[in-house]
Amino acid sequence: MTTSFLITSMRKWAHEHAFLRYSFAFVFIWSLICLVLSLIVWSSYYASIEQDKKLVRTNALKDAASLSRAYAQYLNRTIEQIDQVSMHVKYDWEHSRRSLKLEQQRSQGLFIAPQFELVAILDAKGKPVTSTVPIEKWQDTTLRGQFFYHQNNNSSAMQIGLPAVVNSSGKLVVQFTRRLEDADDAFDGIVVISVEPSYFSSFYDRQSLGKGGLVAILTSDGTVGATRIGDSIPFGGSQVFSQDVQFKTVVGVADFPGPSSFVDQQSRILGWHSLDAFSLIAVVGLNEQELFDTYEPIWRQAKKTAVTTIIALVLFAIIATFLSTRLAWKKHQSKQVRDTYRLATEATDEGFYMMNALRDARGKIIDFQVVDCNARGALFFGLNREELIGMNMSSLQGEIYFNMLMQIYTRAMETGFYEDEYELPDLSPLNMAWARRRLTRSGSGLAVTIQDISEKKEAERELRRLATKDVLTGLYNRHWLMEYLPKALKKAKTTEQMLALLFIDLDGFKNVNDSQGHTAGDQLLKSVASRLQSVLRPSDNVVRLGGDEFLVVLEPVEKESMPARVAERIGDAFGQPFWWEGQKHQIGASIGISMYPLDGDATETLLKNADIAMYAVKATGKGYYNFFKPELYQKLKVRVDMERALERAIEEDQFVLYYQPRVNAKTGKMTSMEALIRWIRPDFGLVPPIEFIPIAESNGMILRLGDMVMAKACSQIAAWEKELLPIVPISINVSAKQFSAGALPKKLSDCIKNWGVDASLLEVEITESAMMGEDNAIIADLCEIRELGVKLLVDDFGTGYSSLSQLQRLDMDVLKIDRVFTNELTKSKEGDIFFKAIVSMAHALDMTVVAEGVETQEQVNALRRLACDEIQGYFISRPVPANCVPELLLKQFLLPSSAST
């Protein structure tokens, strides 16, 4: 009884042990999953907090940089306004012959803005002459340093007195001063404008900077000018920082610890931006503690959620483990029967076999015998079912292949299951290329199913081929490149070799595609693919990225000069024309080159850098190659930003015209004015023409700008005529692209008619390079313009391609000699001789001569001696806005009295 119970217990233990061995993963999978999920939840909680802190700091750095830049722009505009006020006061004082009364102007509504604490004029001895406050109360001694500076320096620039000082009325002010001069340019006193320092910190916005944010103005040597923390504006400002502040860069952002930096002990992120025009630094600070306080409730709630989630997972794991154990036990009891039945009744396209294991005297499996099969299974061997049943596996296979199969079948008997997909070798008797087999232990043998998956594998192979090939050219496509290039870079790194990418963009392809149709374009792309492959090594690869963009992967690259040689070979190949239906098409290639590891070690980085290098080629004229350089990206970004801003400026009409007079060299009487375009860019101020005109020339926007100048000039002439002013002709500049685009005479005619102005009041200035060609259309356009009654001027003569015969043939009215030649006058004998030769030539052609860039009395005297007709330059007048022109028109004679004949 005891022995029987013991045997029964051992058998039960062994059965349960086998059950646990085969069901271990199923039973304990939920516990493992919950453990992993708990770890993920907890680590995610900490990672989320760290990421939030990192994000807060990163955003704060960006915000500080952005706010400092905005504060710098605000200060720049504010100080520029004060600068303009000081210049106006200087101008009014000097031109009123020192009779200006600031007290009277204040009573009339000027200088009443709250920021103006005082506007005054001190004479050459430092005594107040006129002031917006009673002079008897004005005894400010804080101006002594600025006064002495202006007295001993003839600079006309405005001086800023920082840090702020307490004036005679007990108020803290910032003193702005400018030098006054008499008719002999001698020191004649100063203009003083006193402004409360709180005016410069009104930029502070609690929504952007918080309660503990900081704004400050520093001089270039680190002196604190005006400051503000939160709603508190310290008296004097120096107590905001607990130590001297020095910035090593003109623009930047950094963390500053509170105990060692600020009097309130609060750490801040400071952003600073220099005002180059005024040698000041705009500083903005964000309180770090305020930044993190916002997130504290969120982090506490996240921790509570994480703990709750982990507790729920533990409870779930306990319940799931219990239920899984019960279910696994039931599944174990019916597994053998269910598996055998399922295998026998699976899809009919599978071959099914019941294989009995044959063993030797020691129990070792030496062969398998087919005891049952279906018709599909027998057909795979080229037999019928009756013929296959009873055969041994060794008689169906060759010896080598039999030994391979025995290893797999024996392993399946040991483990209970085996499944794989495999490509059948030539030794296999099965009638297929690829098969999926499944072996399951059943009793003393195996249940085997074999499925023919040859068609599926072939379809997958074809799909992979199509997914990596360009349908039109047969080249590899972008999908292939993104899979291949990381592997190639890894190989290059392992072998310590270089790799190069050549980004190719076709020049002129769009013209063919638009004019000849897509069929011609497709044929051209095929020809391009063939030419590219013809100049490369077998180890190199060509990829069509899309459209007319291609990429060449050079590997390996032994020398840094190799990509350049390949690019030159490609250029030579594209030097030969492409033919389509008897027509010749010339297509060029702009090539950008990036190299591993010089220009990056990641796929996206190398592709981006090659693309940037290619665009640099496009920007410099196309049809060449260029290696990537880091500065190309910044130049490209600046250019793109400027192009977008210029496009918006044209749409929003952010342009105005300034006018610079031309006068008779002898009498000084105004003879004409040149209209010059100026861009008033919001938040940036005045943009110099040299920064946007070349961009407008290169991208074609110069045509729209030219039309705008033409319309604005005619509109202004009409406005001045209504005011009955003594108008002189206005000259407008026409670019080479405007001239070559055609229709210029018609545009001029339409503009003159639309505004109802006399054509004789409009002149056209054209550079010599824009018209010195052999095109008869150029001569025809010039004749049409002259027939309208508009004078023609040759601008910047001597800087381009000059042709005396062309000037004679084109019959121009006025010759403007470039400032380069004017600057040489009085400096050398050769300068005078060369200038005289130009004047003599122009007079022989009956042309009026204008000297540009006249800046000194000596130049005026030399020009008179050389019989120059008219002069233009800063000596006469700088370019002025339209509202200043009436005064010049009424004055008429513009030469200074000392320069008049």
Per-residue pLDDT, 789: 92
Closest CA to 531 of 588, 470, 463: 588
Using DSSP's 3-state secondary structure scheme, residue 283 falls into strand
pLDDT over threshold 60, residue 246: yes
Q: Where are the beta strands (DSSP E) in 668-813?
A: 670-681, 685-687, 730-734, 762-767, 791-797
User: Which token pair is 145?
Assistant: 């340093």
Per-residue pLDDT, 345: 40
User: Which token pair is 368?
Assistant: 């398998």
Highest mean pLDDT among 164-173, 186-195, 573-582: 186-195
Question: Of 196-205, 247-256, 493-502, which range is least confident?
Answer: 196-205
pLDDT digits (tens, 9 = 90+) for 769-794: 666 554 567 778 888 888 999 999 98
pLDDT over threshold 50, residue 334: no
Q: What is the DSSP string of 252-279?
A: EEEEE-HHHHBTT---EEEEEEEETTTT
CB 122 within 8 A of CB 129: yes
User: What is the C-alpha separation between 409 and 368, in angstroms, rounded?
Assistant: 9
Highest mean pLDDT among 205-214, 329-338, 473-482: 473-482
Q: Where are the beta strands (DSSP E) in 171-244?
A: 172-181, 187-195, 214-219, 224-229
Question: Of 241-250, 359-368, 483-492, 670-679, which range is least confident?
Answer: 241-250
Residue 12 banded pLDDT, cuts 50, 70, 90:
low
Per-residue pLDDT, 861: 92
Question: Of 244-253, 297-306, 343-352, which range is least confident?
Answer: 343-352
Pairing of strands 880-881, 498-507: unpaired
More confident: 597 or 162: 597
Question: Of 200-209, 303-312, 678-687, which range is least confident?
Answer: 200-209
Instruction: Provide the total of helices (H) and of strands (E) in the chain, helices listed first.
Output: 29, 33
Mean pLDDT (whole number) for 227-247: 69
Sheet of strand 549-557: strand arrangement: 476-477, 541-546, 549-557, 498-507, 588-596, 625-627
pLDDT over threshold 60, residue 238: no
pLDDT over threshold 90, residue 471: no
Q: Where are the beta strands (DSSP E) in 844-898?
A: 848-851, 870-871, 880-881
pLDDT over threshold 70, residue 67: yes
More confident: 179 or 896: 179
The kind and range of the H/E element at 868 are none
CB atoms within 10 A of CB 442: 19
Burial profile 398-435: b = 16 or more Cβ within 10 angstroms, e = fewer: eeebbeebbeebbebbeeeebeeeeebeeebebebebb
Question: Of 20-34, 126-140, 347-361, 606-620, which range is least confident?
Answer: 20-34
pLDDT over threshold 90, residue 48: no
pLDDT over threshold 80, residue 236: no
Question: Of 439-443, 465-469, 566-570, 700-704, which range is least confident?
Answer: 465-469
pLDDT over threshold 90, residue 621: no
pLDDT digits (tens, 9 = 90+) for 570-595: 888 887 887 776 677 778 888 999 99
Omega into 597 within 30° of 0, i.e. cis? yes
Residue 735 banded pLDDT, cuts 50, 70, 90:
confident
Closest CA to 577 of 513, 516, 531: 531
Average pLDDT taken over every residue of the chain: 82
CB 226 within 8 A of CB 164: yes
Per-residue pLDDT, 738: 81
Per-residue pLDDT, 342: 42
Global model pTM greater than 0.75: no
CB 300 within 8 A of CB 101: no
pLDDT digits (tens, 9 = 90+) for 342-400: 454 444 578 888 989 898 888 888 899 998 888 888 888 888 888 888 888 888 877 77
Omega into 163 within 30° of 0, i.e. cis? yes
Residue 863 banded pLDDT, cuts 50, 70, 90:
very high
